[in-house]
Amino acid sequence: MNIIEIRDLKKDYPLGDTIVPALRGVDLTVAAGDFMSIIGPSGSGKTTLLNVIGCIDLATAGSVKVGGREITALDDRQITDIRLNKIGFIFQTFNLIPVLDVIENVEFPLLLMKRPAAEARRRADKLIEEVGLKEYAAHRPSELSGGQRQRVAIARALVTNPDIILADEPTANLDSVTGASILELMRRMNEIEKTTFIFSTHDANVLKYARRIVRIKDGLIEKEPVAA
């Protein structure tokens, strides 16, 4: 089953009087449960593609189906609901909420879903344990290292049991050892939770973690080699 189906996706950014074409006709399907990497040089359109898939940016043209649902025609409230329920995000800069401690950050999406507080707490506890931060539950993000913060972000992305987790260069702000451990954690969670992961990178070293690799250049996807 394909969790994502993209047909002829175009995305232009207006820049003053000119238009910058960031995506110029992308076709892409992603199978449920995949662990996929998008690689490409800087400015090739990785972030733009992930944003469109993650419903935080709108396509200029083309069709984007997430979980079988066409998202290009939805209003803001519906799209926000899709983000909340179907998609998890991991950011390059971690983006935790500084005024909430680790456990509160992780349970945050569940509270947005109006889940009972006790149930949210239980689920968040479990994930914090899985990402190995049990002792840090009561710490604020500012008291954690980069790698620990990214683990919290992974727990937060997973807490709602989303269909897809999108990670835009999740290791770019980490040293290579920590980066590797983060990717290993993602890979393990992919296996435990069966969640689809798509992460972008411009670092060829991390490609070995990917089950599938998609190369992007100048807003177009390069022909994929036959899977190894």
Ligand X SMILES: Nc1ncnc2c1ncn2[C@@H]1O[C@H](COP(=O)(O)OP(=O)(O)OP(=O)(O)O)[C@@H](O)[C@H]1O
Which residue, among 197, 180, 169, has the nearest Cα to 46 in the 3D structure? 169
CB-nearer residue toward other proteins: 172 or 180: 172
Q: Which stretch binds other proteins (CB under 8 A): 20-28, 32-40, 108-116, 176-184?
A: 108-116
- The distance of closest approach from Cβ of residue 28 to ligand X in the complex, given in angstroms and rounded to an integer, is 14
Residue 80 near other proteins by CB under 8 A = yes
CB-nearer residue toward other proteins: 109 or 179: 109
Q: CA–CA separation, 52 vs 60, rounded Å?
A: 10
Q: What radius of gyration, in Å, describes the C-alpha atoms of the chain? A: 17
Which residue, judged by CB position, is nearest to Mg ion in the bound state?
Answer: 47
CB atoms within 10 A of CB 217: 13
Q: Which stretch binds Mg ion (CB under 5 A): 21-29, 30-38, 41-49, 124-132?
A: 41-49
Residue 47 near Mg ion by CB under 5 A = yes
Q: CA–CA separation, 98 vs 141, rounded Å?
A: 6
Residue 54 near other proteins by CB under 8 A = yes
CB-nearer residue toward Mg ion: 49 or 155: 49
- The distance of closest approach from Cβ of residue 193 to ligand X in the complex, given in angstroms and rounded to an integer, is 26
- The distance of closest approach from Cβ of residue 98 to other proteins in the complex, given in angstroms and rounded to an integer, is 7
Assign residue 161 a region: left if phi > 0, alpha if psi is -120 to 50, beta otherwise? left
Which residue, among 38, 36, 152, 142, has the nearest Cα to 91 in the 3D structure? 152
β-strand 2-15 against 18-31: which pairing, if any? antiparallel
Instruction: Pick one of 112, 172, 180, 220: the residue that binds other proteins (CB under 8 A).
Output: 112
Q: CA–CA separation, 1 vs 89, rounded Å?
A: 22
Whose tokens are 């835009």? That residue is 168
Instruction: Pick one of 56, 172, 180, 213: the residue that binds other proteins (CB under 8 A).
Output: 56
Where in 88-107 is the site for other proteins (CB under 8 A)?
Answer: 89, 91, 93, 95, 97-100
Where in 18-77 is the site for ligand X (CB under 6 A)?
Answer: 20, 22, 40, 42-48
Distances (CA, A) of 159 to 15, 71, 110: 37, 23, 7
Biggest CA pair distance of the chain? 53
Q: Which tokens is 71 given?
A: 């998202």
Q: Which residues bind ligand X (CB under 6 A)?
A: 13, 15, 20, 22, 40, 42-48, 202
Binding site for other proteins (CB under 8 A): 47, 51, 54, 56-57, 76-77, 80-81, 83-85, 89, 91, 93, 95, 97-100, 108-109, 111-113, 117, 156
